[in-house]
Structure 1
Amino acid sequence: MTATVFHRLSRTTGLGIAALVVLAACGGNDGPAAPVAAPEPGQYMPPEPPTGYTPKTIAYAGKDMVAAANPLAVKAGVDILAKGGSAVDAAIALQMVLNLVEPQSSGIGGGAFMLYFDKGADKLLAYDGRETAPRNATPDLFIGADGKPLGFLAAVDGGLSVGTPGVLRMLEAAHRAHGKLPWKDLFDPAIALSENGFAISQRMSASIAGVAARIEAQGEPGASYFLNADGTAKAAGTMLRNPELAATLRAIATDGANAFYRGEIARDIVAKVSGHPTNPGRLALDDLAGYTHKLREPVCAVYRVQYRVCGMPPPSSGGIAVLQTLGILQSFDLASLQPNTLDAVHLVSEAYRLAYADRALYVADPDFVRVPQAGLIDADYLKKRAKLISMQKTIGTPEAGTPPGVYHTMGRDNSPALPSTTHMSIIDRAGNAVSMTTTIENGFGSLQMVRGFLLNNQLTDFSFSATDAAGDPIANSVQAGKRPRSSMAPTIIFNAATGEFEGAIGSPGGSAIIQYTAKSILGMTDWGLNVQQAINLPNFGAQTNATTSIEKGSLIDTAAIRDGLKARGHTVVQTDSFTSGLHGVVFNGLRADGKAGLLARNPGAGTYAGGADPRREGTAQGND
């Protein structure tokens, strides 16, 4: 790393040279990451294992921009845009390549949420491609013979945790409405890479190593695909080919999503799930054939007068929780505190606590539960919640509020919040934008591999029990056909006065997605950082207890900040597993009236700017 890069990051993000050295060292770039322990139901699970900290520089481009989790996938998206493809076209090509090069995080065996801004129609759409519980699922799905909730790994490894995949149906619907290039052409990059091979990245190899024993225990075909003969992870740089995936993608490219949801592929998926020798699931052919995506209304609110911030509505909790965090912070002069200070970490963590308390009680699939969505982001309600915050003492374990629209008592959720997710942000040359977060849930999903791709374990996003200790019903309990609550928070920001696009951002990271996304928005708005600087900011956060987690080795991981938080009642935990994967694009040019975009920090360098998280292997790139 050059001194110039160190100086730039030190000056703009507050990460000093020593802190960056520690971050790079603790990330473990030279070897596999240690496995992350599985949680019991209700516990927070940190994101995918850390694999290093590689500083990224902001990218500029004149016509379009892609920011996503792997360079090969980004190239596929950029090439599609160069051929005249739309943002949705690029997203499809990206997802197919990510299925191959980042299989631990997302793929056609999982689901996704996508915000799409149609510039020509001046309309924002929310596409819900979330998995659903099988029609034979019951509230006791994850209750063992002893009457107690199963341990996490007992639930996830095998067929029991597999929900009906949704991403392909959702992408097909979005393409029909907004695509420009032929559907079949969008699969070419992933098919070519599957047949010709690609070099396993350091991150993919480390991720395999973290779960190698579990992969081996599940047997073929995953064991021989990911592991060497001795059971160790295939090393970074190993050429990997996946002709089975190529055949699967070719069938979908030719016959559409029906090739996946009906016929031989569907039969193989169901056979894998229902025929698992020790942990069979309930997915059936009717579940696949009957899956439909949902087109929902985005959830939006104005922040600091200038910005209209929009996110994904339920069944994701991400959009509401991000907007609640911002709405609570409206009552404070956050800009005056500066980032990476004790007061800023304390204040933002307290806002998170209040948002997560409401999330745990109220948010679930709105087709099954009446979610008080408008009340949760009501400005007056959030002002009342903000009054609970003291700058001298933490709230500790927060209580949920009573927003307008609540009509009965709900129980506290106890679902584990597991990641394995990825995010992409895209804007095309027509000004249409995509912010899409896509997932198979835990790392490598359920570990069940079919026809070259992995199946999700999304059902473990439900509460493992249907009622809490007081006997109150839990909103996010298992029900047939229901979509499990998510924390995914794809976000698009607009100029509140004019409605013009300003930026798109989002992240993987389990329940911490909310914190990562909010942090970056605060960086770009209150603290005036560019998109890359905002992504670089140290991660920290809190949820539904007195624990405040801070990114180990970062600027905020100092004795002064740790002791200052403890003096205010926080229980402080240092973690090297705050592995966000933020990817963002912003309008960086000048409008027709000669004014710069609200998030433009270097107007003239390019029409668009893009940033990628230094904690993962993604990049940002566009066409000039």
Structure 2
Amino acid sequence: MTDRTPPLLVRVLPLLIGLMMGACAGPGGTIRSTDVAPPPAQPESASGIQAKPGWSFSRHAVAAANPLATEAGAQVLRAGGSAVDAAIAVQMVLALVEPQSSGIGGGAFLLHFDGKRVQAFDGRETAPAAATPQLFLGTDGKPLPFMDAVASGRSVGVPGAVAMLALAHRQHGTLPWARLFEPAIALADRGFAVSPRLHSLLASETALKADPVAATYFYRADGTPHPVGHVLKNPELVAVLRRIAATGPAALTDGPVARAIVAKVTQHPVRPGTLALDDLQRYQPKEREALCFDHTAVARALRICGFPPPSSGAIAVGQIMGLLARTPQGTQPLAGVPGADWLHTYMEASRLAFADRAQYLGDPDFVAPPAGHWNSLLAPHYLDERAKLITPTRAPQANPGQLGGVASAWARMPEQPEYGTSHISIVDRFGNALAMTTTIEAGFGARLMVNTGEGRGGGFLLNNQLTDFSFTPTDAQGQPVANRVEPGKRPRSSMSPTLVFDKASGQLLMSAGSPGGALIIHFTAKTLLATLQGGLSPQAAIDLPNFGTLGGPVMLEEQRFDAATVQALRDRGHTVNQTAMTSGLQALQRSPSGAWLGGADPRREGVVAGD
């Protein structure tokens, strides 16, 4: 690497990816009148394309969604910090500079490798003790309009990111806890330049302005967002971060910050929530067993580890890759823009995976796994049978599978929007590595900004994580949905932090993940398939066009697929929507020489830094 510190902001090039990969928009970009289903809403809107060169480092590396956060993590590594130390510094800076995606008011999943074992640290939010399965039903008994539920006190779950990071730091931290907050505190105090992406998202946002604290902080007096380059300071966040640095997670569970969180939720003017101080104080992060599965790519046996439930990510990614591998198309490497045959097979495998996801997956403290263990959904004999359902044309319906010869006790969860997140991948010089996906769910979360009312401007945003629960608690026959709201329960997630190992030697090969709501599963699967099977570098894999389905229409990244491919999918029975698919992939991969190759998504602002 000739320039170890990449530019903070690369010139916006809206057509770069299409030119780089040779894709063309063509007449396939027009949605026909028969393709009436609109594409699902994206977690965050597109804000242009930024060229990313790809990176290489020999000792340690950080890949994160904002250059300022990435550099904070790299500084910690250079000071002798561990991967967990760096992740804490990165997260606190992201709370300031990328407030729409993650922060101290949200949750996270952290997958950690210490050179010997993989640990899964669960900082997912929980439902308050007073929450009921009817939380998101209106007075008419029907589900609330989705955005009405999001922008309210009802959607806020008990934040868990800080408590989880403290748990991981106690086990794997090297530097003092308080020191890890110094970069974010200094940056919030002196201010940071509003980025083009943050400005763009604020300009398209409407509900955030209803919160007086947020409106004053993010917008000018005339209601327009601060312009690109405006130096934005956050003195309230400075004070809150200093409290957390001094007292740990207790700063958010007791005292003025905790009281301000509760007041913000319970005093919502339209739809107050039930969050109480007791909920904050009872919260406990969990250490879970990572969910790992075997996969063979180019005759190399791999062990892929992801996050177990309440995340659905690892299971869905594993099912898609496993089903695809059992088809003729699975032998074709994903090394460029995929054609119609490959895409059709991928989509049919995805429908099967998402059918199982809707049927079975939820918080394991409330939902028993089918056939007694979650890996039953990835068992070779089960995938063998499911793969037989993939045919040359689109199946009329993808149904969940039956495991153990017993019908499921759960109702299938209806499809509903899912948002969120930011991703961090880190490797340190000591042999530690992590993949952490962190979130406040929708862009700008519940649109509620916490301020303690001590005369300082700014603050931090609260999550709307509870809208990841099923709004409909039961089906028409009264059978319960596994992912329904219950007190103390963690909502199902699609976050897919992933670590890949050589099965024979146990050597770590890769750390990867992405934001993107339910599409996280597809963004992550694409990157794994393109690197492990297609032989692409992380950057080249991330640059490939995005694609996926949530069980309904096929989604293709706009202006990336030619008309013939689109038509061939339609001829097979697919409804095709071409739309912006704003992933935020980050990945680090060990090269044959031992160097770490880094990639960051050109669709967002992320970069990779290190030595």
Question: 1:2-401 counterparts in 2 under 5 A?
Answer: 15-16=21-22, 44-119=40-115, 122-211=116-205, 213-218=206-211, 220-304=212-296, 306-333=301-328, 334-336=330-332, 338=334, 339=336, 340-372=338-370, 373-390=374-391, 392-401=392-401
Structure 2: how far apart are the matches of 1:157 and 1:579? Answer: 22
2:312 maps to amino acid: S
Q: 1:495 to 1:7 in 2, by over 3 A?
A: farther
Per-residue CA deviations over 1:278-334 (Å, capped at 9, x if unaligned) read 111010000000100010011111111521111000000001101111111221342
Structure 2: how far apart are the matches of 1:16 and 1:415? Answer: 34
1:513 corresponding residue in structure 2:
520
- Farther off after superposition, 332-341 or 460-469: 332-341
Per-residue CA deviations over 1:466-519 (Å, capped at 9, x if unaligned) read 102343210000000000000000000000111110001000000000000000
Contact 1:415 1:462 in 2 (8 A): no
Per the normalisation by structure 2, the TM-score is: 0.91
Q: Which runs of 5+ in 1 are unaligned?
A: 27-38, 589-595, 597-602
Secondary structure of 1:139's counterpart equals: coil
2:495 maps to amino acid: M
Structure 1: how far apart are the matches of 2:231 and 2:16? Answer: 35
What is the Cα deviation at residue 416 of structure 1? 2.6
1:537 corresponding residue in structure 2:
544
Q: 1:406 to 1:618 in 2, by over 3 A?
A: farther
User: Percent identity of the aligned residues?
Assistant: 50
Q: 1:194 to 1:516 in 2, by over 3 A?
A: same
2:585 corresponding residue in structure 1:
582
Contact 1:358 1:401 in 2 (8 A): yes
Secondary structure of 1:161's counterpart equals: coil
1:570 matched to 2:568: no
2:284 maps to amino acid: T
2:602 corresponding residue in structure 1:
614
Q: How many residues align?
A: 578
Contact 1:298 1:313 in 2 (8 A): yes
Structure 2: how far apart are the matches of 1:48 and 1:154? Answer: 17
Q: 1:610 to 1:405 in 2, by over 3 A?
A: farther
1:495 maps to amino acid: D
1:32 corresponding residue in structure 2:
none
2:411 corresponding residue in structure 1:
411
Per-residue CA deviations over 1:118-159 (Å, capped at 9, x if unaligned) read 11xx00000000000000001111111111111112211121
Question: 1:409-558 counterparts in 2 under 5 A?
Answer: 409-414=409-414, 416-451=416-451, 452-545=459-552, 547-554=553-560, 557-558=561-562
Per-residue CA deviations over 1:179-216 (Å, capped at 9, x if unaligned) read 000000000000001000000001111111121x3122
Contact 1:415 1:461 in 2 (8 A): no
Q: 1:404 to 1:493 in 2, by over 3 A?
A: farther
Secondary structure of 2:21's counterpart equals: coil
Structure 2: how far apart are the matches of 1:528 and 1:448? Answer: 44
Secondary structure of 1:477's counterpart equals: coil
What is the Cα deviation at residue 10 of structure 1? 8.0
Contact 1:107 1:454 in 2 (8 A): yes
Contact 1:337 1:344 in 2 (8 A): no
Q: 1:188 to 1:571 in 2, by over 3 A?
A: same
Contact 1:267 1:285 in 2 (8 A): yes
What is the Cα-based RMSD across aligned positions, in Å?
A: 2.4
Structure 2: how far apart are the matches of 1:459 and 1:233? Answer: 28
What is the Cα deviation at residue 336 of structure 1? 2.6
1:591 corresponding residue in structure 2:
none
2:234 maps to amino acid: N
2:605 maps to amino acid: E
Secondary structure of 1:108's counterpart equals: coil
Secondary structure of 1:295's counterpart equals: strand
1:15 maps to amino acid: M
Structure 1: how far apart are the matches of 2:493 and 2:576? Answer: 26
Contact 2:16 2:49 in 1 (8 A): no
- Farther off after superposition, 422-431 or 406-415: 406-415
Structure 2: how far apart are the matches of 1:582 and 1:138? Answer: 35
Structure 2: how far apart are the matches of 1:201 and 1:348? Answer: 36
Structure 1: how far apart are the matches of 2:200 and 2:281? Answer: 36
Per the normalisation by structure 1, the TM-score is: 0.89
Contact 1:109 1:456 in 2 (8 A): yes
Structure 1: how far apart are the matches of 2:291 and 2:405? Answer: 16
1:383 maps to amino acid: D
Contact 1:337 1:343 in 2 (8 A): no
Contact 1:550 1:574 in 2 (8 A): yes
Q: 1:443 to 1:331 in 2, by over 3 A?
A: same
Per-residue CA deviations over 1:157-178 (Å, capped at 9, x if unaligned) read 1211100000000000000000
Per-residue CA deviations over 1:2-57 (Å, capped at 9, x if unaligned) read 9xx9999789xx7117569x99xx9xxxxxxxxxxxx99xx943231001112211
Per-residue CA deviations over 1:422-445 (Å, capped at 9, x if unaligned) read 001000011210100000001100
Secondary structure of 1:343's counterpart equals: helix
Contact 2:66 2:606 in 1 (8 A): yes
Structure 2: how far apart are the matches of 1:425 and 1:406? Answer: 40
Contact 2:23 2:559 in 1 (8 A): no
2:107 maps to amino acid: G
2:50 maps to amino acid: T
Q: 1:337 to 1:582 in 2, by over 3 A?
A: closer
Structure 2: how far apart are the matches of 1:403 and 1:386? Answer: 15
Runs (4+) of structure 1 moved beyond 6 Å?
5-11
Structure 2: how far apart are the matches of 1:457 and 1:7? Answer: 33
Contact 1:461 1:485 in 2 (8 A): yes
Structure 2: how far apart are the matches of 1:10 and 1:103? Answer: 29
1:34 corresponding residue in structure 2:
none
Secondary structure of 1:50's counterpart equals: coil
Contact 1:396 1:570 in 2 (8 A): no
Q: 1:405 to 1:168 in 2, by over 3 A?
A: farther
Structure 1: how far apart are the matches of 2:195 and 2:585? Answer: 19
Secondary structure of 1:252's counterpart equals: helix
- Farther off after superposition, 329-338 or 420-429: 329-338
